[in-house]
Amino acid sequence: MEMGNNTNLDTGNYGDTELDIEWVNNLAWYGKAVRSDGFICEVHPGELSSYGIWEKVPFNKVRLHIWQYPLPNLELVILFVFVLWQVFDILFKKLGLLIPKFASMMLAGLLLNVLLTVSGDKSIIQEILFPENRIDIPGCLGSFGFMMFWFLNGVKMDVKTIFKAEAHARLTGVAAAALPITVGLLLYKYKSLENRPLKAIEYNTLLLMESLTSFSEIARLLLDLGMNHSSVGQVALSTSVVSNTVGLMFWLVIVPLGFQSLVQGVGLLLQMFFFIVIVFAVVRPIMFKVIIRKREGRPIEDKYIYVILVMVFLSCMYWDGLEQFPALGAFILGLSIPNEHPIGSALVERLESFNFGIVLPLFMSASMLRSDIRVWKDILTFYSSNDKKFAVASLVFLIFLLKLSVSMIVPYLFKMPLKDSIILSLIMSHKGIIELSFYLFSYGLELLDRDTFSILVLSILLNSLFLPMAIRFLYDPSKRFMCYQKRSLASMKITGALKTLVCIHRPDHISSMINLLEACYQSDKSPLTCYVLHLVELQGQEVPTLIAHKVQKLGAGTGAKYSENVILSFENFHRYVRGSIFIDTFTCITNSHHMQDDICWLALDKAVTFIILPFHRTWSLDRTSIVSDSEMIRFLNSNVLKQAPCSVGILVERHLVNKNQESQQNLKVCVIFVGGEDDMEALAFAKRMARQESVTLTVLCLLAAKKSKKATGWDQMLDTVKLRVRELVRSNDPGNLKEESSTTYLEEEIVDGADTSMLLRSIAFDYDLFIISRTCGQNHAATLGNESWCEFEELGVIGDFLASPDFPSKTSVLVVQQQRTIANN
């Protein structure tokens, strides 16, 4: 027990009996009691939770309510906050508003603040949110979450982005931070001392934080808006890193100058640099040694995670001892942690989801509960007789306009489109958790009063609600990959140069893609350009990375260690073919939910005609059992089919697609043709393969029963005419004698989907590769009755049947879809 004031406890003189009983009850139930004579006693540890029904029976009158115990109280607060912010987040999504998640957390805290104000001081809500005689455990846990948030932001931030940023991004980042600070300081010096409503420390705090652009806030905003892979988003990320660094340098200079003694200021600055040197000169090399000792692909042991967490706490304690922002120590420590596998990715994977979803909302709600919503009424109605309130609101608005203007003008002078410049300026003017946390810290140190803190919280809330709406209004993601040219196989000459984009996820995708490319490569007269994109899931950092290995040699960067097998395999393929084939390899390290953006962007930039994707299922070596089934790859394939700027193919490899030039056996390919643009695209790809000497092609045309001699619609009639015309072209063109001799055209009458299934089963072992369109048989008798049995929509009805485990043979399947997104000129 801890005792204060009267340290001599006289057990024989307790005074009034009722007061003694109340004192004992408070000590027993609350863990703390104060007598009328000032005697204080505390019990450690106190009761964490109730004894349930056994407590209610004997102690019905003096017992505590369930929410008054520390553990149930913490659980109730977590539950209330979590449910409220999730409700707001889901509501915004249903309304089609892409509001950042932390704005929903702030609204949850605002709602609790309103309920607390309406219910009064003696309500149950007051007892739950602010229990008597208790430490604010939810607030302490929220502060822990806030500290971990800063640390993880440091881990995910790549300082090398500053050196990789383009000139306009660097200049915009410097100007967006330096201009508001410079103008603000000049205005403060110009104003006379008697007419300054804000103290110097208040003014400097507001000026610095409002001028700063936080990288983590911008990265979180772009992620919520789905813009982190767009061209504007990439520029915004680079610009925010530069602006964040410039603001941090200003802070390191301004804070020591706030001391009256120059010696104290210089001493503080030396202690800060001592910490930074220790972190980067000692801790970071140790982390790299740990990574080197780990075997490739092995996870990091838990003991290293625990040591890093201890260092996070020590860093915060060190900066708190300097009477500076404690979370800045955690942030700098995070910068020193390598943000790659296995350490950085493990920290983010284990801590971020729980921290951001459960713990951090407690901090956001606590911040909103400390604000005075009555001050908001005066500001929003432009009614305030207080010069200080008006000065704070005016300063915030002025800095916002300065940042907005300079972030728009500078990139526009560098030839960025005006609309993109406006979007970039809105992104750079965004405020969020970082600013709110610093203001709460300043409020706790009494550097800001409650009215000023409330106005700043209001500005952050309005910024986080309306700025994303304005950005979303100006930014149309549906037009990102809009193509103004026809990019399909059917629209190009059969001997024309083919540009393909091959996507690789795992090592077992390499051989299948190389075999398919080898089978469709014709001769030196028909050059093949192949862009190989190795997709690696982003872990431990915020900024996606695209590495071109023609520019960056093998072993010279982060992408080489991921893509070494891919690079070497395709280089060997290039040497083996020795023809007019060009191969360019890329590594894309990106978030799994946005990989389709990188694929479509590269396809658009390189004017690709055909994208080849691997199927999400992988079979064993004997092709009899499924060894992996990735929902992430399936989700990616579906999204690429929706927004690709060219034609797309999904390769389901269960049989080695190989020409077998050394053997006498030909590669037997079958195209299933019903009618439609996708079917013409599949036929065009197959005809390129048929020009190979070791490839035989069969075109199987499925016709509705009793209608084989007449067209069943304009599309089918047109397709039939095209097929007949191509037969005539082959017979009259001496250069196509090989294709004519190796191509067989068959027609089969089909009554319904059952007939189609029986026909395909009968020829299952006759071919090595089936080529089929995604929409083959759609609204046709060939799929009648089979539509409901389709498991994978991205393959189509017939393609799904050919790739199913029930199909008797293990023949590979290529599902083709023609270009969908073509813009009107």
How far is the CA of 750 from the CAs of 93, 503, 746, in angstroms? 46, 36, 13
659-706+714-723+742-824 matches 487-549+562-653 in CATH topology: yes
Backbone torsions φ then ψ of 376, nearest 5 degrees: -60, -35
Quick check: bond before 45 cis, omega within 30? Answer: yes
CATH code linked to domain 659-706+714-723+742-824: 3.40.50.620
CA angle at residue 183 from 177 to 186, to 5 degrees? Answer: 135
Weakly modelled stretches of the chain, pLDDT under 70: 1-32, 35-38, 43-47, 50-64, 132-135, 159-165, 191-196, 255-260, 295-298, 380-386, 478-485, 521-525, 540-543, 550-562, 578-580, 621-624, 655-665, 706-741, 821-825
Residues 6+ apart with CB under 8 A from 421: 407, 408, 409, 411, 412
Residues 6+ apart with CB under 8 A from 813: 651, 652, 654, 769, 770, 771, 772, 795, 799, 802, 803
Two tokens, residue 628? 């992996």
> Cα–Cα distance between 215 and 137 in angstroms, integer?
30
Residues in the chain: 825
Q: How does pLDDT run across 742-764, given as a tens digit for each residue? A: 778 888 888 888 888 888 888 88
Are 593 and 226 in contact by the 8 Å Cβ rule? The answer is: no
**Identity at 553, one-letter amino acid code:** K
Q: Looking up tokens 């030839």, which residue turns up?
A: 415
Are 341 and 124 in contact by the 8 Å Cβ rule? The answer is: no
Are 650 and 503 in contact by the 8 Å Cβ rule? The answer is: no
The pLDDT assigned to 133 comes to 58
> Cα–Cα distance between 642 and 659 in angstroms, integer?
32
- Quick one: CA torsion of 280, 281, 283, 285, rounded to 10 degrees? 110
- pTM for this entry: 0.73
Are 428 and 406 in contact by the 8 Å Cβ rule? The answer is: no
> Cα–Cα distance between 267 and 279 in angstroms, integer?
19
CATH code linked to domain 487-549+562-653: 3.40.50.620
What does the domain layout of the chain look like in residue ranges? 25-64, 132-477, 487-549+562-653, 659-706+714-723+742-824
Residues 6+ apart with CB under 8 A from 294: 300, 342
695 three-class SS: strand
> Cα–Cα distance between 803 and 761 in angstroms, integer?
12
Class of domain 132-477: mainly alpha
The pLDDT assigned to 86 comes to 92
Report H helices in 590-713.
595-605, 631-643, 677-690
Are 816 and 673 in contact by the 8 Å Cβ rule? The answer is: no
